[in-house]
Amino acid sequence: MLKKLLQDRVYSLGITIALICLVASILFPANFPTFENVSQVMLNLSIDTIVAVGMMLLLISGAFDLSVGSVVAFSGGLAANLMYFHNLPVPLAILAGLSSAILIGWVNGYLIAYQGVNPMIQTLAMMGIVRGGALLVAGAGIQNLPYWYNAIGQSKLLGIQMPVWYMLLIVAILSFLVNKTVFFRRYYYIGGNEKAAHLSGIRVKQMKLYGFILSAALAGIAGILLSSRLGAAMSTLGRGMELRVITAVILGGASLSGGVGKIPGALLGAMFMGIIANIMVIARVSGLWQDIILGIILIFAVWLDLFVQKRSLHQNFFRPIWKKESSKELGKAELVE
């Protein structure tokens, strides 16, 4: 049982995070294990986690989206532009920002699923297009946003800012949907074997379209929360988020080949990176080294994914040779098949 738990990335990463926090608490007792520091870490990783949840679902289906960081900037910038320059009410401005994100996700999903465009090429091109759109709507920055808009990201509950609660709510809802509903379970079948999923009656193209729409919608929510939390919208928001999110999701158990992953893994992956970044700040590590360490973590995450896949393939291939199955076990296997 312990071996199976450690092989599950969610459990093993959770144990790793606990050990890192324990060591950091011993090394930096005055700075790390404080309520203010922990709440700030959770606040900093909340936006990335919301985006990572959508990325996790895409990677489970065997795809990914490089435009999510630009969508974060554009959705928040569009909402701020409509409120500041056109006096649009806060709810309508938020709706416009989210609608724009959904539209971007629909374009990505349609071209990838129905027209056969490579996901990396499509989303990379969309990243540049949407980043240019963010520069058009937000310019050098928009400040002095309405009070009720800023309250969305700056208000607190039990001493913790609301983006953290939104993050936990989104993780809980998507975890339930992926684990308990047939609709979302289909993404595992698509990522595991797309042709077999199609032959079994799953509308693969439609499911892929929905996946990109949901991922972009979550990026739009993250953009609204980030701009309201900062009280300003800037075209540079979300820059580099793609790297952080993909790293977090792979660390959390997703595979570049698709078919595996759990939604809580996105939270734990983002939490791991947030804690590492926080420790580096407390230890006064240079910002230049922080980028280098982030790149090393990404390489390690990809290597770990490949290592686990190769080991699993190796064990499955040699199992009939080194392990003799009893007739009773073979009978069970035949019944399962």
**10-53 per-position pLDDT tens digit:** 888 888 888 889 988 998 888 888 898 999 999 999 999 999 99
Q: Mean pLDDT throughout 83-93?
A: 91
| Tens-digit pLDDT profile for residues 310-331 | 665 555 444 443 343 333 433 3
Per-domain residue ranges for the chain? 15-284, 289-337
- Name the CA radius of gyration of the chain, rounded: 21
Q: Domain 15-284: state its class.
A: mainly alpha
What pLDDT does 310 receive?
64
Alpha carbons 135 and 153: distance in angstroms, whole number: 22
| Tens-digit pLDDT profile for residues 160-172 | 899 999 999 999 9
**Exposure letters 51-78 (e unless 16+ CB within 10 A, then b):** bbbbbbbbbbbbbbbbbbbbbbbbbbbb
pTM here is 0.85
